[in-house]
Amino acid sequence: MTDGIMDIIKTFLDGVGVFFVIYLIGYSTFLFLAVVVGSSSLYRKRRQEKLKNTLFHDYYVPITIVVPAYNEEVTVVETVRSLLALDYRSYEIIVVDDGSKDTTSQKLIEAFDMHLIRRPIRRQIECQPEEFVYESTAQKVPLTLIRKKNGGKADSLNMGINAARYPYFICMDADSVLQYDSLQKIVRPVLENDNVVAVGGTVRASNNVQLENGRVKHYQLPRNILACMQVLEYDRSFLASRILFDKFNGSLIISGAFGLFKKETVIAAGGYDHTTMGEDMELVVKLHEYCVTNEIPYLIRYATDAICWTQVPEKLGDLCKQRRRWHIGLFQSMIKHRSMFFNLKYGAVSFISYLYFLLYELLSPFIEVFGVLTMVLAFAVDLINVPFMILFFLIYAIYSSVLSLTAFFARIQTIDLKISVSDVLKAILLCFFEVSFLRFVLAFVRFTAFFGYRKRKMQWGRIERKKIDLK
């Protein structure tokens, strides 16, 4: 190899090195600030509750809980039972069966003594037509089952919104369970400010967690190693970035497993988009755009103590399907609303939130894979300091692990969960593997998500479900 080519490669590698140092410093600084702000917010909130300096009320905003279900015969009955046990006065439950091929509807009809009714549904948002409607009046609150032609999760949510009787609705997954006081806590921001149009809750992994009447009877980390690492990942994500974005009304995503929305605003904005795989994020970004464009005062909040327990994948194949879907949904949402990028009209949402999701979520797998290929090139031409590279990686991994553990233990302590010594040791051990191994596996999955994108862009993939432990 000639000296000229070597000089070009060296200059290229030097430039790449400077870029990655800046990129990692930016991400590490953001993660540090996010975890510090998140942890301090949780402890301050916990202290206020102990001092009785929080809003305790006897006022209830009527809420419709919409549960979209497709082939959920294993979990849907237990999910509805958990919803009927919620500590809240005024709500209704609507399960939308999206043309399931299993016995989802039959299980509900038999379990809750439901009866066929004739009920017209006004379609304020376009959705597939209903096939039949069942109701049960023998329960604590009104329970409705709507069976419709298959159209996807977003289409099912739109049907639920159309059928909702109340001004606010909650969307959640059919494999999830709300904690007994979740409705009281997720509605609190609405009672504090009339301009709130959406509130996101906290999602935690329910694998190996025993729940009784919406209360945690026994908590332990999942026995499955992959699920355990996701617990650490979820706690870091929900504690860190979401609390920080909440400080400046910059939240761009509310998990599809648990979110509260103002019905009239969502209808005015056009409802859920059935052409995207990330309908949860797309709706939130759409609400930002709609409210700013129409000069409507609004807030999108995050309720740290409103908890939803959901199953996380225990098989690597299922996890890859999930993350591929999430990444394609992120791409579709950001492309659709790209006019928000570096747009003064949207303020911090444009210059902080959108930029963060672009650099550290959407483009991160490409940047990380490019970095690995660059290291291979540098090694091949003997232009890499291997001991320094290993040291740099270890410092990054330990730094990320410490922040992950801070988020995990802050969450455990502030919601009064107790874990065993073995779980403490498991968390400490696995957090290193989560940031150094699982992160790069999922980066590769997200990097390859666009291979065959046009052909598979709306294919969700089936993820194995297990019966929820509600002993």
DSSP of 272-306: --TT-S-HHHHHHHHHHHHHHHTT---EEEEEEEE
Find the length of the chain.
Answer: 471
Please determine, for residue 459, whether its predicted confidence score (pLDDT) is greater than 60. no
In terms of Cβ atoms closer than 10 Å to its own Cβ (0-12, 13-18, 19+), residue 280 is: buried
In terms of Cβ atoms closer than 10 Å to its own Cβ (0-12, 13-18, 19+), residue 433 is: middle
When pLDDT is averaged across residues 436-448 and rounded to a whole number, the result is 89
Instruction: Specify the pLDDT at position 433.
Output: 87
Please determine, for residue 468, whether its predicted confidence score (pLDDT) is greater than 70. no
Report which of 18, 313, 306 is spatially closest to residue 179, judged by C-alpha positions. 306
- Helix, coil or strand: residue 417: coil
Instruction: Specify the pLDDT at position 57.
Output: 57
Instruction: Specify the pLDDT at position 460.
Output: 46
The model's pLDDT over 170-229, given as tens digits with 9 standing for 90+, comes to 998 888 889 999 999 999 999 999 999 999 999 999 899 988 878 888 899 999 999 999
Please determine, for residue 42, whether its predicted confidence score (pLDDT) is greater than 80. no
pLDDT bracket for residue 134 (50, 70, 90) = very high
pLDDT bracket for residue 53 (50, 70, 90) = low
When pLDDT is averaged across residues 364-391 and rounded to a whole number, the result is 82
- Helix, coil or strand: residue 202: strand
The structure tokens listed for 323 are 């993350």
The model's pLDDT over 100-119, given as tens digits with 9 standing for 90+, comes to 999 999 999 999 999 999 88
> Do the beta carbons of residue 161 and residue 169 sit within 8 Å?
yes
CA–CA separation, 403 and 399 (whole Å):
6
> Do the beta carbons of residue 465 and residue 102 sit within 8 Å?
no
CB atoms near residue 181 (< 10 Å): 16
Angle (CA) 213 217 219, round 5°: 130
Q: Which residue has the higher pLDDT, 467 or 139?
A: 139
The structure tokens listed for 166 are 């109340």
Please determine, for residue 146, whether its predicted confidence score (pLDDT) is greater than 60. yes
Mean pLDDT estimate for the chain: 87
Range from 13-22, 118-127, 209-218, 430-439 carrying the lowest mean pLDDT: 13-22
The structure tokens listed for 11 are 């200059």
Instruction: Specify the pLDDT at position 132.
Output: 94
Please determine, for residue 97, whether its predicted confidence score (pLDDT) is greater than 90. yes
Please determine, for residue 402, whether its predicted confidence score (pLDDT) is greater than 70. yes
When pLDDT is averaged across residues 41-60 and rounded to a whole number, the result is 66
